[in-house]
Amino acid sequence: MADLKERTFIAIKPDGVQRGIIGEVIKRFEAKGFKLVGMKMLSASQDLLQQHYIDLKARPFFPTLIAYMSSGPVVAMVWEGKGVVKTGRVMLGETNPADSKPGTIRGDFCIDVGKNIIHGSDSVESANKEIALWFKPDELVCYTSCAYDWLY
């Protein structure tokens, strides 16, 4: 059975915050039918960012990436729903905005791979790791196992 409680970690990067696309991103995920289960704005520490992008540590752009992600506040969110990890990545577009189709977030709002405005987990496993890294359990709400009566 499909996991209706699948979760993904989505972060609006500093350039996305600066350019005022927070509402646009939230609007798209809400309109699609996903549920927001956690959200906060923060200036991410070097430690947190290095941990978040640990798999890219050996890449030549790693120092630039950490500096970019430290250049201002980010909006960290957890979204929930059926297939949210995969569908979330489709909604974001490709890593390089130049390869992202119109209609995707990166396809519509940015042009540079080094300033691609948003992050999304690339697998359920990464999502679970990233959510645990950025959020404490009591910072996330629960809908489906609680008393609320939601459509899906």
Is 106 annotated as belonging to a binding site? yes
Listed in sequence order, the residues at least 6 apart from 44 whose beta carbon sits closer than 8 Å to its beta carbon are 52, 69, 70, 74, 76
Q: Least Å distance between CB 151 and ligand ATP?
A: 29
Verify binding: residue 61, ligand ATP, rule CB under 6 A: yes
* CB 76 within 8 Å of CB 11: yes
The amino acid present at 47, given as its one-letter code, is D
Q: Which of 120, 127, 131, 135 binds ligand ATP (CB under 6 A)?
A: 120
Task: Out of 119, 131, 134, 135, pick the active-site residue.
Answer: 119
Is 128 annotated as belonging to a binding site? no
Closest among 75, 98, 83, 89 to 12, alpha carbons compared: 75
CB closer to ligand ATP, 23 vs 63? 63
Q: Least Å distance between CB 96 and ligand ATP?
A: 7
Q: Which of 12, 21, 39, 65 binds ligand ATP (CB under 6 A)?
A: 65
Q: Which residues in this chain contact ligand ATP in the complex, by CB under 6 A?
A: 56, 61, 65, 95, 113-114, 116, 119-120, 122
Active site (catalytic) residues: 119
